[in-house]
Structure 1
């Protein structure tokens, strides 16, 4: 049986996480300690199920994580477009390209499991640019759309679009390759998933590391995408 005070504690914790996204003991110690109460956690688990979110504690932080298919608390496609491109109207292909950049960046940092989840500490913007270009070049002339359906990515359209963009080092120039990468970097920085040094060095934050290691990344989905793209790449290679 839950008391009224149990429900109030659960609501206070839930509402704080709903507003702030995460909670540490340094920010709100009393509210943070509510999570240690078994009854409060049981009530919270009901909120999670009904709201399509997950609330997880890792080390000294409690995170509020919308489910992938949550249209209310997560980002709809139109909302994500506005978050990444706060100025001006952008098309679906612009969003698809940025989503691919996110996948590539995530794969650079996290491609393992368990203690080997994180595989590198930083990446230079120029290196990321080069890796994206090298990967997309393999799909530039493909007419077979099977890879799009299998991966869930418009990879052939993304590839064609990428190679219409001007290749400049200046990330401020509108709609260059570096500009798109910069938009993704700014978005991830705003979400506190990366930090940026000297405007060119991308470093995952402790929040990104924790979420990647414990919950956030859907490794099966990430591995499926990379496997499909790698298989389609090998099919195109000439046989000896």
Structure 2
């Protein structure tokens, strides 16, 4: 008998009943290949740390694999059968990775469901959206003006924000683009020439893609 965990992508927070239903539905589906990018990234990072049983057997590193059987992969989910002796350690790792990639974790032993932090979009004009889609993000950025001079997209204690004009300290036609990666001492700013540059950052942040940061030259802000 194993300690099982399931991880999947959901567009909105799930109740315990919804998560239980989703988990049970997975066993009515034939496992296959992961197609959702966030779930795929989660799986890659997880198996880089804890290789699948077949890979551990081939390399002779069986002690590194905490699994009691092969992981079951679905289009947007992974089910992990964990040996009980590793359950506590692996649970913490899975929770951290799932939180990083914006995924739901379901524990069928207890019925607990761990939803990722909600994504929220707020603008100077008072508009506010929870878990906005790409079209809504672009629409909010298009509404930026001298009066509606900033927008911020945040998840937990991390965010990306943009400001324009004197209120944001932006020079000329430049946009002041900032991001905070967790703690206040990790707050950075750059100035970009186009709204498309801003959209690139906002849309990537929304999907947990951190590669966008390398496209800009940042300076650290001290408060």
Q: TM-score, normalised by structure 2?
A: 0.23
**TM-score (structure 1 length as normaliser):** 0.22
Structure with greater proportional strand content: 2
